[in-house]
Structure 1
């Protein structure tokens, strides 16, 4: 049994990863600060689902609820640490009490458009926070990690599909710039402190427990409530939508690779190598939900890229990454989950 620290482990992707690690027989130390980007109760439910704890949670107030949650899930296989990755003392307490074999760093401020509104917050959390995690690893002798990067680092590339060898120093949003900065920091600590690193460039992740601010969840909610769907641009922008189960498969494969090799620094795309237009997405949601949408057309938004499209041959070659979930199947799973929640 290995012990893995998952930062952002109460979130959408993080909770799915924790669930898989637990099923594989490992111990998980989940670090999350339950910030106010969306209702903290969503993350509590994520944790209850990922740990398999069947309980009726009685909500009171945030501070009390998080304390009760920590007590409820504490066990030989799982520990919840409520901490902010920017605070070295909070990370030191978490790392100092555990013998951690590897870190999977998912905690971040996410989203292109909000990063334009508050770039300093994004720099503080995503760059300084990542550096604080790396320092905690260095001080406590943790030499293996995965770090979540993003397809947004590619900007508006004309060449498709996007390859890890492509130039990525022309970001068009602060969020993308912070993710590129994390990749550079990862290489710095690999070079100076022998911390083996895989930077995972995720491509538009969707599925059960998706954050409520992301397109598919937001569109399904609007459709359910009979509200017009806000569509930016002419509907031709394209995304490489990747089902969360395939993302977790990729992380597990990358984790095995980085643990099984020395002197590793790799940047790897985790996508599907298929794209869907925004208008195709809307029609697919209509079909999956069984309801026709009203559309509200607005101009393109600053920072939004025209398309994302992953070349996944490197991930396949390094650790056998081979996404299995087609978009219709993944969307059906999400809609089923949405209706049940």
Structure 2
């Protein structure tokens, strides 16, 4: 298949491109190489992808509608959309970036797909859309109407925008709600990267809400496996469905659209996560205990029943394994060996 991957030089996009290429697909990668974090990390990921002759790299931001139309051309068999302004904290500092990248950029991509719909568009969302939900675990059929940050609000808006285009223009869309993804080649603004760098440099780590938090940490390899298995799971239009979907399916009643959680379904305490980092590095963390950050939540917890129903797959990498893999990559990258 010919596949477009937006955000191909980002953490998740990079890993998805590697998997698609390994599966024999032809991949066009789009990335703006924005300086939200060190662009050198993005360039290094891109260099690795460009070693494969079936990968083409395109430096482009989705806000550039004319450039996007030229790249999209007559269309692709599939689209994975990861390009976005990431980061919950940064949305408090620079909210405009989220409007430009997450709203305008996604709108432009939807317009391009409207002209030439792919067989399947898989678009990144986030567990942050569940916001103030108190019912756990989080199910795709739960209402998600109370986002706590602008980042979460833009991602929920992306889901609704994609639903309208799926309904109006018959674009099959699966929205992917990610739960705290971590692993090799991760982002420097994420907790694991910060913890490892601070500990190896002899600096204290910031521990919010005094460690009284749990996250459904999801290893990037498990995430990619789930997304690869979802590629052939194309949501059907209402008139083309074979029987009624199960009650826990988020399939739209009017459009070829659904939302799927991708998480480990195993919330891990923050202090237990830090203990895994200590075990992997062989270092003891000096902890700077702080109050809860604005817009944060004490718990994330994915129900993966729908993912398992669709793909037969459930993420299984333990935090100990995943953190060890990240630490080994971080050391190799710092030494120029990755």
TM-score, scaled relative to structure 1: 0.90
Which consecutive residues of structure 2, in runs of 5 or more, have no partner in the other structure? Answer: 241-254, 334-338
Match of 2:157 among 181, 196, 214: 181
Which of these residues, 65, 85, 89, is aligned with residue 66 of structure 2?
A: 89
- The answer to whether structure 1 residue 149 and structure 2 residue 149 are counterparts is no
**3-state SS of paired residue (2:177):** strand
Secondary structure of 1:257's match?
Answer: coil
SS at match of 1:81: strand
Distance 2:312 2:12 in 1: 20
1:299 aligns with 2:291: yes
Stretches of 4+ moved more than 4 A in 1? 259-263
SS at match of 2:113: helix
Contact 2:263 2:304 in 1 (8 A): yes
Q: Report the Cα distance in structure 2 between the residues aligned to 1:243 and 1:256, rounded to whole angstroms.
A: 22
- Asked if the contact 2:212–2:269 (Cα under 8 Å) also holds between the matched residues in 1, the reply is yes
2:102 pairs with 1:123: no
**What are the Cα deviations for residues 33-79 of structure 1, in whole angstroms up to 9, with x where unaligned?**
0001112111111123345x3xxxxxxxxxxxxxxxxxxx6x3x111
- Give the match for residue 267 of structure 1: 259
Classify the secondary structure of the residue corresponding to 2:284: coil
Spell out the pairing of 1:1-341 with structure 2 (5 A cutoff).
Answer: 2-51=1-50, 53=51, 75=53, 77-96=54-73, 99-258=75-234, 264-341=256-333
Corresponding residue pairs, total = 317
Which stretch of structure 1 is more off in the superposition, 137-146 or 174-183?
137-146
How far apart are the structure 2 equivalents of 1:100 and 1:118? 33
**Which secondary structure does the structure 1 equivalent of 2:210 belong to?**
coil
Measure the CA separation in 2 of the matches of 1:190 and 1:137: 10
Equivalent residue number for residue 251 of structure 2: none
Instruction: Give the CA deviation at 1:140.
Output: 2.9
Offset at residue 143 of structure 1 (A)? 4.7
Q: Is the 8 A contact 1:156 1:306 kept in 2?
A: no
* Matched position secondary structure for 2:233: helix
RMSD: 1.5
1:155-211 residue CA offsets vs partner (Å, 9 max, x unmatched) = 132211111111111000000000100000110001100000100000000000001
8 Å Cα contact 2:129/2:153 also seen in 1: yes
> Does the Cα contact within 8 Å between 2:49 and 2:55 map onto a contact in 1?
no
Q: Determine helix, strand or coil for the equivalent of 1:258.
A: coil
What's the CA shift for 1:232?
Answer: 1.3
1:254 CA displacement: 1.3
Give the TM-score normalised by the residue count of structure 2.
Answer: 0.90
Greater CA deviation, 190-199 or 317-326? 317-326
Instruction: Tell me: CA distance 1:201–1:191, structure 2 relative to 1, closer, same or farther (3 Å).
Output: same
